Amino acid sequence: MNAMTEIDAGVLQVRDLRVELPGQVDVVSGISFSLAAGEILGLVGESGSGKTTLATALLAHARRGARIVGGQVHVGDQALLSLEGEALRRARGSLIGYVAQDPATALNPALRIGHLLRETLAAHPSGLDREAQQQRLIETLRDVGLPDDHGFLRRFPHQLSGGQQQRVMLALAFVLRPRLIVLDEPTTALDVSTQAHILATLRRLCKSQGVAAVYVSHDLAVIKDLVDRVMVMYAGRIVETATRDELFSRPSHPYTRGLLAAIPDVAGRRELTAIAGHAPAPGRRPQGCSFGPRCERFTAGCAVAEPLLQMNAAGRGVACLAPHDQALQVKALAPIAALKGRVELPLLSVSGLNVAYDRQVLFDVSLQVQPGECLAIVGESGSGKTSLARAIAGLGENAEGALDYAGRHLPLHARQRDAGLRHQIQYIFQNPYRALNPRQTVYQTLSAPLAHFFGVKGAPARERVEAVLKRVSLPGSVAGLYPHSLSGGERQRVAIARALLCEPRLLICDEITSALDVSVQASILDLLRQLQREGLTMLFVTHDLGVVRAIADRVLVLKVGRVVEQGAVDDVLDHPQAVYTRTLLEHSPSLR
């Protein structure tokens, strides 16, 4: 399909779309593209790139404070941005469907599933009588893979699993048979297996009904098997657009290449390269190319004017003065030094650990961590991986079992551990936005453990804080800042620094990269590997098998509170024994 026919058959045409914040600060601008019937477009970018703003602007909606100030959005022959009131209401839903990021919050907790579906049908003139409406409803539920019985329709959203909730969102979008569907990271909150099933359902529906789709995602690996075409956004602009195969085989824009080089791949250990610096916020974008300050190929010409998106005849476009034309070479890494054969006293051993709250979440879990190794604990939500990490850290209540640390008995409650032992086991939390006290400067946060554990205050404390900031690659000036002026990646570095100041031997990392962008994740993983080389032992909790491949020596797979498999990373990921591990691997997104 070439560019001309694409535009002719276009279901969606966007011209020069621009969304502003007050003060003429643009969030996205100069967006033009088109979509054919049945075509699935992947819209990729990191947080702050404007991808969600663009996605909702396609439905003529801007979040509070923002405003669509220019451009056109045509769906079929309807000019969406010029519609108002009742006409706009009718176009939303019937022409364009929308699927939000988190189904748990996007479904009204007070309304039943059947009520939502019927209301959506009734809100638009469909020309269907009562019976036909019921027929359509049942058909749609079957299409998205949900039960269609009366009992299911009478359920409330909280009575469904996350995957089912997202299927309901799909049903709400597809029940009106729209021509275009916009999906804003619909699987981010879901487990990999659920995600794989939802993506397959979506692709089947789009292709069979000829519905075009815009799929917003921050992760290139997730959309690889779903989309026909990819559009990469950076700082509110499209920087590259290409067919899927072309983009993954020959990425042109330095930013696209940076993204691809930063994604850990479950299929093989590769060297992860982080993109230096971070994305500029709206209103703080530099003169010329927004990516310029982070780009290796930056020349004086890049700072003069913003490079335009140059389209070639094949429908491929790049906004760069010096685009790459080679395939991306990612260095494969040798396996991390195997610890096989080394029999030492384990640093930590857990035996027969049981944890129960209202119900039991861990059943007789036993594991050992050798000094200097990184053990990954993998599982889906509800597998008990965080409960396990918290129990080892001494934070978990209701735990029973035996812990041994460096040959000594380790009490289950942190309170009962003596201070000399406590500082050796440190915990880093998942969400860096909540792990730092917003009312304390970085220096206050970092100096507290020094005073607490070692009685170090004043000038020596300042020296140590400066040294640790350097160790986690943060400038010393960060010490005087409050957390709100730091980015997510910087906050997580501060959290790591806080743990390091306690001089730990065992570091427990609970999904510490899952709230971060891929390029930031790469730099954090790099830091952790370096710390590991310096002799730190790590327990790394994650749901992402790609991250496991990138960082761990050994892996332990948890399923609903039980260990189903453990072993050296390459053994488990290349030759999984348990059926569960195999399904997980099958459903994990990969770049290969």
Partner 1 sequence: MLEPANPPRTPAWLSWFIGRLGYGLLTAWVISLVVFIATQALPSDPARVILGPDAPLESILTLQHQLGLDQPILWQYLRWLGSVLCGDLGVSLDSNAPVSRILWGRFGYTLALLVGVIIVVVPGALALGVALALRRDSWLDRWGLSLLIFLKATPGFLLAIGLVLLFSMPHMDFLPAVSILDPDLSLLRQLKSLVLPIFALSLTALPYLTRMVRAAMIEAQESDYVIAARLRGIAQRRIVWCHTLPNALVPAIQGVALTLRTLIAGAVLAEVIFSYPGIGTALNAAIQMRDLPMIQAIVLVITLAVVLINLLADLLTVLLTPKLRTARRVTLIQRNRRGITPWWRRSRGDA
Residues that bind partner 1 (CB under 8 A): 56, 59, 61, 64, 89-94, 97-98, 100-102, 105-112, 119-120, 123-124, 151-152, 156, 158-161, 169, 172-173, 176, 357-358, 382, 397-398
C-beta separation of 302 from 292 below 8 A: yes
Q: Of 285 and 390, which has the nearer Cβ to partner 1?
A: 390
Q: How far is the CB of 208 from partner 1 (least distance, A)?
A: 22
Q: Of 6 and 102, which has the nearer Cβ to partner 1?
A: 102
The sign of the torsion formed by the CA atoms of 149, 151, 152, 153 equals: positive
- A 10 A CB-CB count for 450 gives 21
Q: How far is the CB of 416 from partner 1 (least distance, A)?
A: 16
Q: How far is the CB of 56 from partner 1 (least distance, A)?
A: 7
Rounded to an integer, what distance in angstroms lies between the CA atom of residue 44 and that of residue 226? 13
Q: Where are the beta strands (DSSP E) in 254-338?
A: 310-311, 317-318
Amino acid (one-letter) located at 163 = G
Residues 6+ apart with CB under 8 A from 120: 93, 172, 175, 176
Q: Of 90 and 462, which has the nearer Cβ to partner 1?
A: 90
Q: How far is the CB of 58 from partner 1 (least distance, A)?
A: 10
Which two three-digit tokens encode residue 174? 């597809």
Q: Of 241 and 387, which has the nearer Cβ to partner 1?
A: 387
Backbone angles phi, psi at 32, to 5 degrees: -135, 130
By CB atoms closer than 10 A (0-12, 13-18, 19+), residue 545 is: buried
Q: Given its phi and psi angles, is residue 557 left (phi above 0), alpha (psi -120 to 50 degrees) or beta?
A: beta
Q: Given its phi and psi angles, is residue 351 left (phi above 0), alpha (psi -120 to 50 degrees) or beta?
A: beta
Which two three-digit tokens encode residue 192? 């990999």
Q: How far is the CB of 6 from partner 1 (least distance, A)?
A: 26
Q: Strand 212-217 vs strand 180-184: parallel, antiparallel, or unpaired? A: parallel
Residue 358 Cα distances to 361, 397, 398, 400, angstroms? 9, 12, 10, 15
Q: How far is the CB of 358 from partner 1 (least distance, A)?
A: 8
Q: Of 74 and 462, which has the nearer Cβ to partner 1?
A: 74
Q: How far is the CB of 292 from partner 1 (least distance, A)?
A: 35
Q: Of 158 and 409, which has the nearer Cβ to partner 1?
A: 158
Q: How far is the CB of 118 from partner 1 (least distance, A)?
A: 12
Q: How far is the CB of 569 from partner 1 (least distance, A)?
A: 30
Q: Of 5 and 159, which has the nearer Cβ to partner 1?
A: 159
Query: What letter does residue 371 receive in the DSSP assignment?
Result: T
Q: Of 5 and 360, which has the nearer Cβ to partner 1?
A: 360
Which two three-digit tokens encode residue 196? 């794989």
C-beta separation of 68 from 153 below 8 A: no
Rounded to an integer, what distance in angstroms lies between the CA atom of residue 2 and that of residue 16? 21
- A 10 A CB-CB count for 341 gives 5
Which two three-digit tokens encode residue 465? 């804080």
C-beta separation of 508 from 520 below 8 A: no
The sign of the torsion formed by the CA atoms of 295, 301, 304, 305 equals: negative
Q: Of 284 and 357, which has the nearer Cβ to partner 1?
A: 357
Closest by CA to 496, choosing from 540, 454, 461, is 540
Q: Of 194 and 349, which has the nearer Cβ to partner 1?
A: 194
Q: Of 173 and 216, which has the nearer Cβ to partner 1?
A: 173
Q: How far is the CB of 381 from partner 1 (least distance, A)?
A: 10
- Say what angle helices 488-501 and 442-449 make with each other, to 10 degrees: 20
Which two three-digit tokens encode residue 299? 């020349």
Rounded to an integer, what distance in angstroms lies between the CA atom of residue 215 and that of residue 141? 21
Q: Of 110 and 334, which has the nearer Cβ to partner 1?
A: 110
C-beta separation of 36 from 11 below 8 A: yes
Q: How far is the CB of 496 from partner 1 (least distance, A)?
A: 25
Q: How far is the CB of 187 from partner 1 (least distance, A)?
A: 16
C-beta separation of 370 from 339 below 8 A: yes
Q: How far is the CB of 146 from partner 1 (least distance, A)?
A: 12
Q: Of 212 and 274, which has the nearer Cβ to partner 1?
A: 212
Which two three-digit tokens encode residue 482? 């409050």
